Structure 1
């Protein structure tokens, strides 16, 4: 069976935000390896598979190109990009260490009750996902939301946008889509959220730094 044959059909009927749904299905399929690296993507074939017009498929592919998950080939359509290599992974985590610990410290300093409530809600979502069949898919989305909300709580949109444009979480989750460190990730996130909620500036910075360093070591096992 080809990778296209493994994709779910979206079914028929009028759907709101149809382009978003196509995007979400394709993004997950690329991240979990259902669509492997260096795979050609045919917009017409995808439209037939999802039983939609070509327009939402083209919109989804454009968004995936912005994510760095696909690239457009002149006169040939799209292909999925390759996985990060070891040096690219190290470089990506160096960027995270430059941006995130300081942002966690600012989040502890500037957080509002609404920020704390949102961060704690994310921990509840993550804890409830552990052990479920879809745990890794749920945790990947949780991870992106939680780190983004730390940036939001830090109240520095310039830093947040710089981080967002690197698509760090998409590429690291795609590299190691196994779920082997789900529980560790949740425990580290919980410690970070507790420090931010307490207003512990040093503790939040330390918790974020330790989380990133531990994540880096877990992911480097892919190459070892």
Structure 2
């Protein structure tokens, strides 16, 4: 099944869920303002994290996809259910493309397909558009291209920690929605104990892992294995 077919099937399922949910009253929801994340190292506004475009040479006759066409083709559920809820988002990204660049954290299609049913209803309910917009906004940096290399860069000007690990040069980034923590991913261990850093990067307090990164225009799209927004956004 193609991504487009999957997207259409998923949207149809959401519509049925929404119709069922309408049988009971749904209170308007305004998420509490998330508190500032306690980040050990400084949060650097993306405007100071400019990276040189790393687009490779294009084959003769090849065209560079726009960010809109790229997302619609590769992340149709995230694009249609979340990103488009941000007013004038593509105007914002086009402006960013010609200046500082942009960064987007895209939950994979499998993440979107496996959203909890109650959260699916929240996303599709037009009465929750303000909340959905806030959720989506945490996935976009509109004034800076922050590559995976930049996220993983270590700061050798400060002493290493007790376990010999160097600090990351940035502890977080500032998105349209607010601050997000940047940290190292871990693997192994048992019941949360003994896990070791494996060289990857996680974003947000829920530690959504960066799976892969793709340069699109003067921006970068990071595929992540979860939502990077705080859980406080959800009802």
TM-score by length of 2: 0.28
Q: Which has the higher contact order (CA 8 A, sep 6+)?
A: 2
Higher helix share: 1
Give the structure with the higher percent strand: 2
